[in-house]
Amino acid sequence: MRLARYGDAIAEKTGIGGIWIGLVLLAAITSMPELVTGVSSAALVGSPDLALGTLLGSCSLNLAILALLDILHHHTPILSQASPRHIASAGWGILLIAIAGASILAGIKFSELALGWVGIPSIIIFVVYLVGMWRVFRYERNHQQMTQTVSRKYEEISTRTVYLRFALAAVAIIAAGIWLSYIGDEIAAVTGWGATFVGSLFLAITTSMPELVVSVAALRLGAADMAIADILGSNMFNIAIVAPVDLFYTQGAILCSASSSHLITAAVVAIMSLLVIIGLRFRQKRKTFVVVSWYALALIGIYAFGAYALFSSNVAL
């Protein structure tokens, strides 16, 4: 909650804007548990499925969080009040998940495409992420120069204090995710549900709690764009994390070593992202079912279907 407040303060004091702060700064911090858990799962536990399950599962859960934000956003659909500039972020997210899904689908065929033990697809994903961030930054910078306004909400807090408190909140979030990979590995062993399912559901839910709390807090601060940008930016960052996770997984290219069950999650994330784009593009004035919009129900339904399909596939295995 404090991370959202001080992120909003940084947006005011720097003049960068809530969308860019949410897309990069908040997204990077709230995705640190995924990074720590993914690297630990790959390097210490040696489980590529647990690592990828955490990253991809967090993406699908993050998009389901948008449904909760829609319910909490009274009277009007939240995506109708958000900036259409979020379409670019969602589109880049679809491109990144498509590259990851194609690499998992190809499997052993891409195993020789590597620099050392790091797969070329992982490197491509990271480069595409950087290009996407650069394009979005240029667009946001130009937009801010055209529509810059002065706000005084955080005038009483010094810039140095804002950065210090933001950093302390960030450290707390990062520290909270260190042991999750060990716990997830034990859950998979005890229950027999498989690392893919445990990573995609249990670890993903836990590591997505920062996105949930930060986005809800941002919404209550009246920074809906920052909340949505945090979710979409976290998804882009989660997929980009595949590259450093692959670096720490020394047994080969991680995407080529992963179970094909991850394709279910990848497809779910792509479909849910497409729904978000539709909601941003066709801006309804009223919610379809009084308290919830049609796309919010669709997001929840697709997430639940994906979790069930993933569980069924792991039971079958």
- Output the domain CATH number for residue 86: 1.20.1420.30
> Quick one: which of 172, 301, 201 has its CA closest to 261?
201
150 within a domain of the structure (yes/no): no
Q: Which of 4-8, 59-63, 214-218, 266-270 has the lowest mean pLDDT?
A: 4-8
Confidence band for 2, pLDDT divided at 50, 70 and 90: confident
Question: E-strand spans in the chain?
Answer: 114-115, 118-119
Bridge partners of 238?
none
State the average pLDDT over residues 259-270. Answer: 92
- pTM of this prediction? 0.83
151 within a domain of the structure (yes/no): no
What's the pLDDT at 317? 47
**Phi/psi of residue 115, each to 5°?**
-105, 100
Query: Taking 80 as the threshold, does the pLDDT of residue 230 lie above it?
Result: yes
Confidence band for 185, pLDDT divided at 50, 70 and 90: low
* Residues 6 or more apart in contact with residue 48 via CB below 8 angstroms: 41, 42, 249, 251, 254, 257, 258
Query: Taking 90 as the threshold, does the pLDDT of residue 11 lie above it?
Result: no
Between residues 169 and 272, the one the model is more confident about: 272
147 within a domain of the structure (yes/no): no
CA dihedral 257, 261, 264, 266 (to 10 degrees): -20
In the chain, % of residues over pLDDT 90: 29
Confidence band for 144, pLDDT divided at 50, 70 and 90: low
> What residue numbers bound the domain in which 33 lies?
2-142+159-316
257 within a domain of the structure (yes/no): yes
Confidence band for 214, pLDDT divided at 50, 70 and 90: confident
DSSP state at residue 110: G
Q: For 106-139, what is each residue's pLDDT tens digit? A: 876 666 677 777 888 899 999 999 999 888 877 7
In the chain, % of residues over pLDDT 70: 86
152 within a domain of the structure (yes/no): no
118 within a domain of the structure (yes/no): yes
243 within a domain of the structure (yes/no): yes
148 within a domain of the structure (yes/no): no
Report the number of distinct structural domains present in the chain.
1
Q: Tell which phi-psi region holds residue 293, choosing left (phi > 0), alpha (psi between -120 and 50) or beta.
A: beta
Rounded-to-integer distance, Cα 183 and Cα 15, Å: 41
| Helices 2-14 + 209-220 axis angle, to 10 | 60
